[in-house]
Amino acid sequence: MAKIHPFKAVRPTRDKVSLIASRSYQSYTPEERDSRMDYNPYSFLHIVNPGYKYHKEISGDERYKLVRNRYLEFKEDEIFKQDETPCFYVYKIVNREQESFCGIIAAASAEDYENDIIKKHEDTLTDRESTFKQYLKTVGFNAEPVLLTYPDNDSIARIIKKVSTERAEYEFTTTYRDTHYLWKVDSKDYIEQIQSAFQTMETIYIADGHHRSASSFLLAKDLASNNNTHSGKESYNFFMSYLIPESDLRIYEFNRLIKDLNGLSKEEFLIRLDEWFRIENRGIEVYKPSKPHHFSMYLDGEFYSLYLRKTIYKFTDALEELDAQILFKTVLDPILGIKNLRTDTRIEYSHGKNGIVYVKSKIDQEEFEVGFGLFPATVDQMKKIADQGLKMPPKSTYIEPKLRSGITIYEF
C-alpha cells in the first residue's frame, strides 16, 4: 500500500510565483543563469546560486549554508509563506504543444522507497546520493518534487476534475509558453479519499528523480538514527513528489552521438553492423524509427535504417528488449568500444524533442562521426524493468512533464 501524505507547503505569494519559478539549476547555461538573476531579483536561482551575490563560485558546505540563508531571507521578506494546515496540491501543466499533465503534489514515504513499493528503473551514483543528502540536511528543504506515476484511478481523477473547476491559486505562463496551474486541496474528505485511493496501490513508480529519491531516503535514515524520540511521523520520513497517472506521462527517446568509429573505416564499421542488423541506405532522406528494435543512423552525410536481426539477438528479460540496451550490447560496446555510458567522453546524448535533424546537424558540423536515433520506450517497458528489479542504461528515457522549482517547498 502506497502511503501519501498532505503537508504544509511553503509557497510564493500569488503575485510573485511566476517570477520565482525556475527550471532545474543544471538546465541553464551559465550565461542564461546570470541573465535571469541580473533582471529578476525574485528568481529561485538566487537561492540555489548564492555565490552570485558575491560574484564568486561557491561550493560544498559553504554553498549549502548560504542557500539556507537566502531561503530564510525570502521567508523573512514574506516572499514565501507556509500554509497553515497540511494539504495536497493539484498541479496542472499545459505545454506549448497543448499537451496537458495533471497530478497531485504530496509527500511520499521514504519507507515505501526502501520496501520497493516505490519502484526504480535507473541506477544511481553513490557519490551523487551522498552529496545531495548532505545538501538537503543543511538547507532543510526540498523545492523540486520527484516525479512519480501511478495506474490511472477513477476516484483520484474525479477529485482532480472537481478541484480544477475552482479558481486556481496560481495560474501563470512561462517564457517557454508552458502554463502552470495549482489548486490547494485542504478538504478533509478529499484528503482522506486521495489517501485511501493510493493505499489500494501495491506499487507506484519513479518516472524522474531517482537521485533525489535515494538522497531523501538516506536523509531519513540519517536523521532517524540521531533522533531518540523517532516516531516515523516526522517530516524527514517523507519526500515531496508529483504524482501523475500513467496516461499523462510522456516518454521520449535519447538519441546517441559518437565522436569516432573506434579506428574503423566506414566500410569496416558497416560490415560489423551487418552481423546484428539489416541495413538500408536511405541517402539524404531523413529516417526516424517507427517501431521498437528499428534504429536510424546518420553517417557521412547519409541516413541508414537498421532493423535488428531477431533470429540472432535473444530477448531474455525486459531489459534486453529495451532499444537503448540493444544498441549498447550490439554496437556501442562491442564495435565502438564504449564500455561505460556514464563516463565515456566519446558519447553524448540528445533528447528526442530535439529531433533526428539535430543529430544530423551536429555530425555535419563535424562535432561527431556517427549518430543513432531510437524509438522511445513505453511506460509498460519502464514498469516491467522496475518490476524485475533491473535497471535501464543511462539516458534511456526523456520524460515529461519537467517541473519548475520553488512553486511548492517541503521543509524537513
pLDDT of residue 187: 97
Name residue 412's beta-bridge partners.
none
Predicted confidence band of residue 27 (pLDDT cuts 50, 70, 90): confident
Mean pLDDT, residues 338-349: 94
Predicted confidence band of residue 259 (pLDDT cuts 50, 70, 90): very high
What is the tens place of the pLDDT at every residue in 361-404? 999 999 999 999 999 999 999 999 999 999 999 999 999 998 89
Highest CATH level, class, for 254-396: alpha beta
Mean pLDDT, the chain, rounded, equals 96
What is the tens place of the pLDDT at every residue in 36-53? 999 999 999 999 999 998
Question: What are the cell numbers at 5?
Answer: 501524505
Predicted confidence band of residue 24 (pLDDT cuts 50, 70, 90): confident
What is the tens place of the pLDDT at every residue in 221-240? 999 999 999 999 999 999 99
User: Which residues, other chains included, contact 311 with Cβ-Cβ below 8 Å and sequence gap of 6+?
Assistant: none
**Cα(159)–Cα(191) distance, rounded to whole angstroms?**
10
Show the 3-state SS of 50-68.
HHHHHCCCCCHHHHHHHHH
pLDDT of residue 175: 87
> What letter would DSSP give residue 7?
B
Q: Where are the domains of the chain?
A: 4-250+400-411, 254-396
Q: Among 232, 247, 298, 290, which Cα is nearest to 269's?
A: 298
Q: Is the pLDDT of residue 209 over 90?
A: yes
pLDDT of residue 239: 98
User: Which residues, other chains included, contact 185 with Cβ-Cβ below 8 Å and sequence gap of 6+?
Assistant: 6, 87, 88, 89, 90, 104, 159, 163, 191, 194
Angle at 253 between CA 340 and CA 21, to 5 degrees: 100
What is the tens place of the pLDDT at every residue in 137-148? 999 999 999 999
Question: What are the cell numbers at 318?
Answer: 525486459
